[in-house]
Amino acid sequence: MMKKSVLAFLPWYPVLGLLLIVTLFDQVIAPPSFAQTTVKEETASEEAALFARETPPALPENISQAADLIIALANGEVTLIDLSAPMAVPEGIVETKDVEYGNVNGRPLLLDLYQPRERSGKLPGIILIHGGGWSGGQRSDYKYYCVRFPLMGYVVATVSYRFVGEAPFPACVEDVKCAVRWMRANADKYGIDPDAIAAIGGSAGGHLAMMLGYSSGVAELEGTGGHTEFSSAVQAVVNLYGPTDITLKEFHDNKTLLAFFGGKHFDEVPDQYRLASPITHLKQEAPPTLIIHGTDDDTVPVSQADLLAARLKELGCPHEYLRLQGYPHTLDIAVETNRHVRWHIYHFLDKYLKR
């Protein structure tokens, strides 16, 4: 059975369910295959080879809608990453778990840190923020990235934050801002360049990554978790299928967002909805942004990414937009798409963080 961590990828469940039903009653389509998650020592050279490509790895052909992925899964063209399986850490990476990056009224805030074992000088830092509707998921959901990004010369922290069941907005924003401040406060200790930190997140994590990028200096979002003498600004943002403007009417009756705001509807606290929308805070000084979104996303519509890209273009902010035709929410749970996405992330971060 798949463990709870895989529940962060619910949009793939209808695909898996249909495949399994057809398998049981028709025996025509095989159950979906899952990737081997043991990380080989060759991973370092594989990642280097991925980055060295002039173009990204090809995606499965003939994907124009999410239903096409059912066929691709059945044909073995798509393999899913099994997050429930143990994931080894390569010898070239030092893993430090359960690091306290902040504390709110006695409640510790934790992260896991991944560093290259060998380095030359200070390296850019990455804050990874998992998704889960601000109410679930876990920082280990991004371990697939954690055991790869350091091999490319980054110090990576995957963070936990308070969920809405414990504390509604702006608690989660305050927490991830504290994580950035912690990274900056400990830059010398861990060999991090404090002027080269990126925020990467998916879904709710993408929203929080954008809030880090665009709401720098907004005092009411900083919180008191710790290291308040340091800046929470980041120098690059990677937004994977995160919501950008939650003031729109289509979100007003969304149960996830109602919980996010402590049960309050937009009509009751419109200012809070605006404050929590990344697009509200966009200005010309916004850091470079990489947007990655699938056109068949039923959780966060691709129109949210379209709005963001249009606004960034209007302001003249550096940005790149990877709009994947036919792909659903959590599109990077597929091995093939993940490699494609990593190629874009590596080149984006190399361009804007490595000097």
| Residue 224 near residue 104 (C-beta atoms within 8 A) | yes
- Cα 199 to Cα 180: distance, rounded to the nearest angstrom: 9
Q: Report how far apart, in Å, the C-alpha atoms of 202 and of each of 25, 108, 208, 332 are.
A: 35, 23, 9, 9
Q: What is the pLDDT of residues 305-327, one digit of tens each?
A: 999 999 999 999 999 999 999 99
Q: What is the pTM of this model?
A: 0.90
CATH of 81-352, one of 3.40.630.30, 3.40.50.1820, 3.90.25.10, 3.30.70.20: 3.40.50.1820
Domain ranges of the chain: 81-352
What is the pLDDT, as a whole number, of residue 76? 87
Question: Phi, psi at residue 118, to the nearest 5°?
Answer: -115, 140
**Rounded distance between C-alpha atoms, residue 209 and residue 229, angstroms:** 21
pLDDT recorded at residue 142: 96
Both structure tokens of 21:
């039903």
CA distance 204 to 170: 13
CA distances from 24 to 20, 71, 263 (A): 6, 16, 42
Strand-pairing partners, residue 35, are: 81
DSSP characters for 83-95?
Answer: TTS--PPPTTEEE
pLDDT at 69: 85
What is the C-alpha separation between 206 and 128, in angstroms, rounded?
Answer: 9
**Which residue ranges in the chain fall short of pLDDT 70?**
1-42, 355
